[in-house]
Every structure is written in structure tokens, then in C-alpha cells.
Structure 1
Amino acid sequence: MSRTRRTAAAEQDLLAPTPETPADPARQEAMRPLAERMRPRSLDEMVGQRRLLARGSALRRAVEAGRVHSMILWGPPGCGKTTLSLLLAQYADAEFRAISAVLSGLPEVRQVLAEAGQRFDAGRRTVLFVDEVHRFNKTQQDAFLPHIERGSIVFVGATTENPSFELNSALLSRCRVHVMEAVSAEDIVAALRRALEDGERGLGGQGIEVEEGALREIAAAADGDVRRALTLLEIAAELAADEGGRITESTLLQVLADRTRRFDKGGEQFYDQISALHKSVRSSNPDAAVYWLARMLDGGCDPAYLARRLTRMAVEDIGLADPRALQMAIDAWDTFERLGRPEGDLALAQVAIYLASTAKSNAAYAAYNAAKADVHQYGTAEVPMHLRNAPTKLMKQLGYNKGYQYDHDAEGGVALDQTGFPDVMGERVYYRPVERGLEIKLKEKLDRLREAREEARRRRGKPGAGKGG
């Protein structure tokens, strides 16, 4: 064999798979992330969820008695959904199986369900944990129904999204929804202390020194997510190894440099926060409005979306009480497009503060909706003859434009005895200005005109007006 061929063969031998030597269990455990090693082994070790898992609560009594039921766990990341499902199987002495709606398709789901059915026939239950269940479509969700009904699985679905919107009614009717809350900073600090003290699973015995204030900073950065807090602590501990085991302020600066708040750009938190921004503007609370704007920008919300929503608020909630608001919103949008971030954020903040501070009126919004309702009710009602255009001789002979009163020639600049509605409808009143901002003046003028029109109709013996949507 030539040298070249021997070298190639040797390279192939190096690349070929070799039998793995069984790993040392202790070493294997040490390789697992801190958050996984510190996963609670009992209900007493869980932090947070004081309402749901309080001693004597219905769920806790059921779990401790091993009487588990199919459920949906709805809550933010890191609040303990996976841990609780593991404990359900442990307390019920059931097999635990987990699948992810992101990674698993229908064939894998069917295989897991078939295995659970065989296990059930042999006298053992299965707790089937489905992470991010909201990502399964209706057909995939329906696949679980007969197995839940038969009892061959205890279904536990975890979701960060509102189950009312994301899960089909058939699945919801067979499961109880339990709402889990973000873990408080105080409870997260307790979990961090436990990890530092635990010599078996945690960092105890490694000589890690950290002040209480540093733990609180990590807890605040974790933003309600215990798993994230433990990961940050683990990274800090690794960096501290080069500084004598002490987690210093400079260590935290490195670990927490890119901290972000929880924000799902298309989920429940997104719509909750935009709702809070809109309602703060409507409630004339500029401080709350600029806070929610800052929260959404900090969380990664598209600033163009916020500019569009602020423009909508100018139309819907400020309206004609302050017509300047609409132009200011459009100007702020344009300013942001020109400046970009971060300078353009100030333009959005400025208009949010102004919209919240100025006079409010939804009178134009309400008027339009009332007019739309009449459009649907009366359909294609005929345009009155006096309002029709008459560009040809034939149209004039047919009566188009006959009787029209040119307002500029009328006394006061308004032809009072002239309707603007189809005959089948009669006069309508949609726009009812409020007594705020510019609409105070508009209301005074329109009240006078409406009274004058009504008087003119009475003199001619026509039916009264004023009906509105």
C-alpha cells in the first residue's frame, strides 16, 4: 500500500465513529445546566405560584393525592410549567412523556399516543406533556381527544398564549386551564440562594461569593423567569472563577449587558401592552402612556407599528376636540422615518404625551359608525333629486338638481330648508360634539344650525328631524 493510501486510510479511521465509553453519572450530572440540575423535586421546592399551589388549594390537594387531571398550563416562560408537569407524573406514579409542538409532527404524536395506550392497557398511566401546544393546528390538537376521553393519557399542555384564542374548543372542554404567573423577584432570589447553597446539585462548595444586591440585580434582569435567572447566575459564577470566586459589579456588567424584558411581538403580552398604551392615552394619563410606549420599544416592537397606532388614537380618541393631534401624529411618524433610532423614539414619545394630555372626543368615530349602520340598513337609497348633478340637458329635464339651493347665496351662508339625506331616511343626527376642546365651538354652531333647520321645517309643515344613529 502506498504512503498516500495509508494516510487516507488513517484519516478514515479517525473520522469513523467509535463505541462510546459509558459516562460517569456524576460527571454527566455536572455537565447539565444549573437550571436543569436545580429543577424542583417536590412541590415544596417550587418557587412562585403561591396562589395556584398554596397549601390546601384544590390543585395541590389533587396532586399530592395523585389524582391528576388533564390541564392547560398558561403562563410566561420560566414560571414552572415543565416542572409542574414532571411533578404531576411523580406524585401520580405515572410515566412521563414530553413532546414539543415546535419539533414534533403528527406521526410522532401518534407514536407517543400508541405507546401510552399500550401502557394504559398494562395498568400504568402516562402524563403527556406538550410544550407550546398552541403551535399545533386544529387537526393535531384533535388527535389527543379520544385518548384524553379514554383516560390513556393525562394531557398537560403548556402555552404562553391565551388558550381562548389558540386552542380549539374541543380540547379546552376536556382540560382545566390553570393560569401561572411570572415569578416575583423575591422568589427568584430565594431560588438563587438555594442554588448557591446546594452542594449536590448547585454551586455549593465552589466558594462563590455574591452580595444580596447582586442577586437582586440578577433576579430583576431575569424578568420573572427562574430558568433565565439560574442561567445568568451560572455564567456569573464561571466568570467569577477568574476573580477568586467573587461575583463583582464588573462581573454583573458583563453578564447583564444585554438584558431584555419579556415581550412577544405577536402574542398575548404584545396585545396587552398596546391595549395599555391606548387606554392610557384615552384616560389622559401621559405618564402611563410614555411608560407603555417605552416598554414596547424596549421589547423590540416595530416603531412603525407604534406610529400607526398613535395616529389611530389621534383619529379615534382625540378627533375634532383637537385636530392638531392628527397632524402631530403624522409628523412624528415622518420624523421617525427620517431620524431612525434612537433619536426618532423621542418623536413618538412626544406625540404619545401630547395625545394623552390634550382634549378627547370620539364623536367623529361614533358618527361614522352610526352612519355605517344606516348604510347597511337602508342599502342603495336614492339620492334626492335636488342633490344630483345635472351636466346634460336630458338630466335637467328629468329633474336632476331641481330645487337645489346654493348655500353661498342663502342668508347666513346656509340653506336651512334643504335635506342632505335620501327621502326614505329623513333627517339624521350622527355627529354629537362633546363639550371639550375645539368641539365646544363646533357644538355651539351646529346646535344653532340644527335648531334653525328644525324651525324651517316646522314652518313648511315637514316632519321633525333629529333622529340619529
Structure 2
Amino acid sequence: MPLADKLRPQQIDDMVGQSHIIGEGKIINKLIENKNIPNMILYGQAGTGKTSLANIIANATGKKYVKLNAVNCGVKEIKEVIDSTKRDLFSYNGIILMLDEIQALNRKQQQSLLEVIEDGSVTLIASTADNPYFVVYKAILSRSTIFEFKAIEKKDILKGLNRAVEKLKVLYTYESINVEAKALEYIAETCNGDMRSALNKLELVFNVGIDIASNSVNITLNDVIDCSSVKMLNYDKGGDDSYSALSAFHKSLRGSDADASIHYLARLVKAGDIQGITRRLLCVASEDVGLAVPQAITITEACVASALQLGFPEARIPLAQATIYLAQCPKSDSAIKAIDSALSDLDNIETGDIPLHLKDAHYAGAQNLGRGVEYKYPHNYPYHYVEQQYLPDAIKNKKYYIPGENKNEISFDTYWKNLKNIK
């Protein structure tokens, strides 16, 4: 049995992390104390305690515990397990069905759970690493309480590792088990908030550190480094983690924080999501920098083209160039505000017909319809400008574009105000 399973918490006080929902006076503790467990969806990355909590709840409430993995079961298997366990219903206080990876069930398979969770004979505790609002059938969501399991903080990982070392001293009869504090700190730092991963690393280095001659175990920082693989990041393309990373990247660029922007770029580069990166950069160049620096879109497009041509790992260089450049550019959202306001009017108010003098007049009979007759050609006038109505009558005084407070837009705005005031 893997060390992570040997050391799986047996009671709520043994769990580490999730202090927002677990601990004295917190909601999970109160539910267990009252033995009134609702249907739950436990959402979060692997190794954060979802399965352990389901075990603890079942043990604490005296309910029969049945575990299934949605990856390798369907409607038939779910019903068979539920029907077989119902024979034991009177021997227990009910049944807890722990369903791992509920996102693997399709809509029809998820609907098959409704009957048993509605009649109260089965309490569903489902787990998923994906955002449940994206992957779980709404009828199940409405009948369940969602608890988010967050990555476990380093201090809590260390607490769990030190507890594991003490239990190892009980499990094994070695003369001594010596573990450098820095070795545990390194494991806690590189396990990415995953307690199971941390325990697996501890088990590996424990086996490496066995000295048969002295009947002892010695674990050093160098041993841990030698046994460690590359730190894995949480990033599932098309999943909640990827959208969050892209969102943080975009918002950091918009917020003009070059350091945060580079950090999130590094996450996206590590995940190899070049398409996601380039789309966000191009969007920021127009949505958030816009007319404050009109050439930003051209520079960004050149960096994006270079990155796509180079591919990783070299693509990281022009992507970093574009990222730092956009983060430091003055910002203006005047362009997106203008187009969104115009689109909103098209959906919500009567905007009227295009003025006759602006309509196409390049065909025989157009003048008979009055089209283009009164159009004034601006290049025939001083400064290539003449005052005339362009918007439809219904919205002729509408103002969509409001210049941003930046040097470029202020300069153009001043130019046109001065020109239009010339008599």
C-alpha cells in the first residue's frame, strides 16, 4: 500500500489544509457533529483531501461507504451498486456514494443519480478537478452543496510531512530515522499544494535513504533533489485552471503590472499554450491599450508572428517582449467602449435609416431616389473637412467615442476641436 494511503486521515482533526471549511466551528466539522450530511460536490485539484474527507464523513456518521470512479462505470454499474447496498440500508444509517471524477459521466449517466439522491436513500459525495458549474448536470448542482478544495499551503504540507515522519517511526523498526528539515521544506515547496504528491516524494526518498548496514534511514536535501522530477503546474487546457491563468494574464496586462504579467506568461509557456497567449496579447493591444498607443497592435502582431514561426522554447522571447511592452503601454478602453455602445443601441433602441446622402449612389437611377445627391466630399474643402450629418436622424446627436485621457487621444481631440471651431 502506498504511504499516502497508509497515512490517510481517519478523523477530521487529522486533515491538513482547507481551513476555510475544516476546523473548529467550520461548516464541515459542524455537519459531521450533527451527522446531517447533504449531497456534496468536492471540487479542487488532486491531493487536497477530497477522498479523505468522504471516508471521514462515512466513518463519523456510521453510514455505509461505497466508492465508484466515474471513469470506468456507467448507469448500469451505478444502479447495480446502489441496489446491492440498499439491502444493507437498515444495518446502517444510510449510504454514502463517493463518486470520483463525476465529470466523466455524460448527462444521461448523471441523471440516473437523481432518483436515489432525491429519495434520500443515498447521500452523494462527488469529486471533480474541473469546475462543477461547467461539467455537472444542473439538476444535481441544485441538489448539492459545493465545497472548493484549495491547494494546500506550504505550512500545512510541512505539518502533514512531519506527522508522516513520526508515523514512519512507528511503522518501521529501524534504529533511527533522520530527516533534514530542509528536505521536507523542499518537498513542500515543489509539490504544488498536493499532499498526496508530497507523501509520495517522501516515500520515494525514504526508500532511497535506507542504510541496511546501520539499520537506519537518513534523508537529506540532496537526496530529495536527486529524487525529484520537474514540478508540475495545474493547467488543464480548456479547463478551469487554464481559463484562470489566461484571465490573470489578461488582467495583469490591463493593470500595467509587468512582473505579474510575466509570471502568468511563464505559467502559460510552461503549459505550452501558445494559442491562448497570442490571442490574449492581440486582444489586450486593442481592448486595453487601444488608441493610447495605436502602433501597439502592429508591434504585438509582429511579436506574435515571430513566436508562432519560432515555436517553443524560443517563442517565449518575443512573447515576453510583447507582454512587457503591453504592460508598460498607456491604457485606453475608448475603442471597445465605443463599439460596445453602438452594438447595444442596435439591440435596444430604434436607430433609424442611413441618411440619403450617405447611401450608395453608384448605379443608374440612384439620383432619382435622392441617394448621394447632397453628399459633400470632404477633400474638396479646406483642411479636408466639412460639417455634415453622418448618423441617422434618430441618433444624430449620439456620442459613442469618448477620447481617453492619454497624450495621443488628447492630441487628436484637440486638433479636431480646433478645426471644427474655424469659421
**TM-score, length-scaled by structure 2:** 0.91
**Distance of aligned partners of 1:232 and 1:122 in 2 relative to their CA distance in 1, 3 Å threshold:** closer
Corresponding residue number in structure 2 for 1:53: 22
Corresponding residue number in structure 1 for 2:409: 439
Whole-Å separation in 2 of the counterparts to 1:48 and 1:70: 22
Kindly provide the CA deviation profile for residues 354-393 of structure 1, in whole angstroms up to 9, marking residues without a partner as x: 1111111110111111222233356795432222333344
Corresponding residue number in structure 2 for 1:147: 116
**Distance of aligned partners of 1:203 and 1:49 in 2 relative to their CA distance in 1, 3 Å threshold:** farther
From 93, 106, 120, give the equivalent of 2:62: 93
* SS of residue in 2 equivalent to 1:360: coil
Corresponding residue number in structure 1 for 2:265: 293
What amino acid does structure 1 have at the position aligned with 2:266?
A: A
For the 8 Å contact 2:191–2:198, the answer to whether it is kept is yes
Give the RMSD, CA atoms, in angstroms. Answer: 2.4
What amino acid does structure 1 have at the position aligned with 2:210?
A: A
Corresponding residue number in structure 1 for 2:284: 313
Query: Does residue 194 of the first structure (1) align with residue 194 of the second (2)?
Result: no
Kindly provide the CA deviation profile for residues 1-22 of structure 1, in whole angstroms up to 9, marking residues without a partner as x: xxxxxxxxxxxxxxxxxxxxxx
From 69, 72, 78, give the equivalent of 2:47: 78
Corresponding residue number in structure 2 for 1:108: 77
Larger Rg computed on CA atoms: 1
What amino acid does structure 1 have at the position aligned with 2:258?
A: P
* SS of residue in 2 equivalent to 1:36: helix
* SS of residue in 1 equivalent to 2:267: helix
Kindly provide the CA deviation profile for residues 410-443 of structure 1, in whole angstroms up to 9, marking residues without a partner as x: 1221111x11123343243211111214112122
From 364, 367, 372, give the equivalent of 2:343: 372
> Runs of 5+ in structure 1 lacking a partner?
1-31, 457-469
Query: Does residue 230 of the first structure (1) align with residue 199 of the second (2)?
Result: yes
CA apart distance, 1:228: 0.4
**Distance of aligned partners of 1:242 and 1:205 in 2 relative to their CA distance in 1, 3 Å threshold:** closer
For the 8 Å contact 2:350–2:394, the answer to whether it is kept is no
**Equivalent pairs: percent with the same residue?**
32
For the 8 Å contact 1:195–1:202, the answer to whether it is kept is no
For the 8 Å contact 2:272–2:312, the answer to whether it is kept is no
Corresponding residue number in structure 2 for 1:273: 245
Corresponding residue number in structure 2 for 1:383: 354
What amino acid does structure 2 have at the position aligned with 1:357?
A: Q
> Runs of 5+ in structure 2 lacking a partner?
none
Whole-Å separation in 2 of the counterparts to 1:62 and 1:389: 71
From 178, 187, 195, give the equivalent of 1:218: 187
Whole-Å separation in 2 of the counterparts to 1:40 and 1:206: 26
Query: Does residue 251 of the first structure (1) align with residue 220 of the second (2)?
Result: no
* SS of residue in 2 equivalent to 1:435: coil
Query: Does residue 408 of the first structure (1) align with residue 379 of the second (2)?
Result: yes
For the 8 Å contact 1:37–1:202, the answer to whether it is kept is no
**TM-score, length-scaled by structure 1:** 0.83
Query: Does residue 284 of the first structure (1) align with residue 256 of the second (2)?
Result: yes
**Distance of aligned partners of 1:261 and 1:242 in 2 relative to their CA distance in 1, 3 Å threshold:** farther
For the 8 Å contact 2:192–2:231, the answer to whether it is kept is no
**Distance of aligned partners of 1:58 and 1:337 in 2 relative to their CA distance in 1, 3 Å threshold:** closer
Whole-Å separation in 1 of the counterparts to 2:172 and 2:162: 10
Corresponding residue number in structure 2 for 1:29: none
Corresponding residue number in structure 1 for 2:5: 36
Kindly provide the CA deviation profile for residues 112-156 of structure 1, in whole angstroms up to 9, marking residues without a partner as x: 222233332555411100112233233222222221222211111
Query: Does residue 346 of the first structure (1) align with residue 323 of the second (2)?
Result: no
* SS of residue in 2 equivalent to 1:154: strand
Whole-Å separation in 2 of the counterparts to 1:446 and 1:202: 82
Corresponding residue number in structure 2 for 1:21: none
